[in-house]
Homo-oligomer: A and B are copies of this chain.
Amino acid sequence: MGKQMTEMLKGTLEGIVLAILFAGPAYGYEITARLREQGFVHLAEGTVYALLVRIEQRGFVDVEKVPSEKGPPRKVYSLNAQGREYLEDFWGTWSFLAERIEQLRKERK
User: How many of chain A's residues touch chain B, expressed as a range?
Assistant: 35 or more
Q: Which of B11, B19, B40, B102 contacts A7 (CB 8 A)?
A: B11
Residues of B with C-beta under 8 A to A15: 101
Tell yes or no: A94 within 8 A of B by CB: yes
CB distance from A44 to the nearest CB of B (A): 16
* Residue contact B10 to A8, C-beta cutoff 8 Å: yes
Tell yes or no: A55 within 8 A of B by CB: no
* Residue contact B19 to A104, C-beta cutoff 8 Å: yes
Please, which residue of chain B has its CB at the minimum distance from the CB of A107?
A: B23
In the complex, 15 of the A-B residue pairs with CB atoms within 8 angstroms, ordered by the A residue number, are A2-B93, A4-B11, A4-B89, A5-B97, A7-B10, A7-B11, A7-B14, A8-B93, A9-B11, A9-B97, A16-B100, A19-B105, A19-B108, A91-B108, A94-B101
Binding site for B on A (CB under 8 A): 2, 4-12, 14-16, 19-20, 22-23, 38-40, 89-91, 93-94, 96-98, 100-102, 104-105, 107-108
